[in-house]
């Protein structure tokens, strides 16, 4: 008997949420095999969406991503939890494919998938690689997964007490590291795919997003899981003094960019054309980290914008 599945959608963008729900409502698996739970701030006007077959959980405000997802998980009755962001549109087979590995390997705790820009324009695909490179692989791997579209065995999720609720970004990296430490496998399955309406359609929006991500992340996760970090990441932690850190920004960003281009060179023919902008986004991310360090590498309050 197939396990029941709970699909959880943390929402703040009502303009894109409807497409997400429509995609989830037309999956290849029977409708009685899964439930859809939307977590949304009560101040947003979601009633006009006329969401059918959807449980709606209202919150006082938009909390950090991890807390929004945890609130959904608390309501979930499924043995498998699927999380998908409200700007992602799943393929018709998304739930079926992203959950199939759980049946084949009891040690798999989480499964990620490809998250591809909704448009195949230069800037949309450039943003995919500059900001969301972890989702662009076309071969399976074990490692840290992004949470824009992810499935997690509920037993595994509870074993690490879910997402870290105070993190503003990198909460997915933190979750993967916690799962790995507990002995669970985190698998990327490129056969599962969602389209991403990220609306980053130019260089400025890519640079701004890179900075915001770095500012919200800081070095909090790296410091928390230092023993699991790569050698370059450990070296970066040694330079976290805000007056020294700027010296490492360009070398570290360039190293990450070169590694990314080499790793993903066969996934996109335009990748080398994207490379200068990928580098700029990596630099802007590290500048954001540096500004966070000036604040004391602390978690900044998260409010709805």
Share of the chain above pLDDT 90, in %: 86
Average pLDDT over residues 268-286: 97
pLDDT for 305 equals 33
DSSP secondary structure string, 74-109?
HH---SEEEEE-TTEEE-TTHHHHHHHHHHH-TTEE
Record: fold of 5-196: Spore Coat Polysaccharide Biosynthesis Protein SpsA; Chain A (3.90.550)
pLDDT for 48 equals 60
Share of the chain above pLDDT 70, in %: 94
Average pLDDT over residues 181-210: 96
Average pLDDT over residues 132-141: 95
pLDDT for 297 equals 60
Average pLDDT over residues 272-299: 91
pLDDT for 302 equals 43
pLDDT for 114 equals 97
* CA distances for 92 relative to 30, 123, 195, 280, angstroms: 12, 26, 11, 35
Average pLDDT over residues 64-88: 97
Average pLDDT over residues 46-52: 64
Residue 219 has pLDDT above 80, yes or no: yes
Mean per-residue pLDDT of the chain: 93
pLDDT for 224 equals 94
Residue 259 has pLDDT above 60, yes or no: yes
Residue 92 has pLDDT above 70, yes or no: yes
Residue 303 has pLDDT above 80, yes or no: no
pLDDT for 279 equals 98
pLDDT for 42 equals 85
pLDDT for 106 equals 95
pLDDT grade for 304, boundaries at 50, 70 and 90: very low
Cα separation, 103 vs 111, whole angstroms: 12
pLDDT grade for 47, boundaries at 50, 70 and 90: low
pLDDT for 299 equals 55
Considering only 143-157, 185-199, 229-243, 260-274, which range has the smallest mean pLDDT?
229-243
For the chain, what are the domain ranges?
5-196, 203-294
pLDDT for 26 equals 94
Residue 254 has pLDDT above 90, yes or no: yes
Tokens representing 204 are: 């400025």
pLDDT digits (tens, 9 = 90+) for 220-231: 999 999 999 999
For 117, counting Cβ atoms within 10 Å of its Cβ (0-12 exposed, 13-18 middle, 19+ buried), the class is buried
Average pLDDT over residues 118-146: 96
């Amino acid at each position: 008997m197939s396990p029941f599945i709970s699909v959880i959608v943390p929402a703040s963008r009502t303009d894109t949420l409807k497409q997400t729900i429509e995609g989830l409502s037309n999956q290849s698996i029977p409708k009685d095999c899964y439930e859809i739970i939307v977590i949304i701030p009560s101040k947003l006007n979601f009633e006009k969406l006329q969401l059918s077959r959807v449980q709606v959980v209202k919150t006082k405000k938009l909390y950090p991503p991890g807390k929004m997802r945890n609130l959904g998980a608390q309501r979930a009755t499924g043995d498998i939890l699927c999380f998908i962001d409200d700007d992602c549109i799943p393929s018709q087979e998304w739930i079926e494919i992203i959950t199939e590995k759980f049946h084949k390997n009891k040690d798999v705790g989480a499964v990620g998938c490809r998250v591809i820009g909704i448009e195949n324009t230069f800037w949309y695909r450039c943003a995919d690689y500059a900001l969301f490179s972890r989702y662009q692989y076309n071969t399976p791997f074990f490692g840290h997964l992004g949470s824009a579209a992810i499935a997690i065995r509920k037993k595994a999720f509870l074993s690490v007490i879910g997402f870290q609720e105070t993190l503003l970004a990198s909460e997915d990296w933190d979750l993967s590291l916690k799962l790995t430490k507990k002995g669970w496998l985190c698998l990327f399955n490129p056969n599962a795919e969602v389209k991403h309406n990220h609306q980053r359609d130019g260089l400025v929006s890519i640079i701004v997003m890179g900075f915001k991500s770095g500012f919200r992340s800081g070095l909090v996760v790296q410091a928390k899981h230092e023993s699991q970090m790569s050698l370059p990441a450990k070296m970066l932690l040694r330079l976290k003094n805000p007056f020294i850190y700027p010296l490492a920004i360009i070398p570290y960003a360039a190293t990450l960019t070169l590694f990314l281009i080499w790793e993903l060179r066969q996934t996109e023919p335009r990748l080398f054309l994207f490379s200068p902008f990928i580098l700029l986004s990596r630099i802007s991310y590290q500048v954001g980290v540096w500004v966070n360090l000036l604040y004391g590498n602390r978690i900044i309050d998260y409010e709805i914008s």
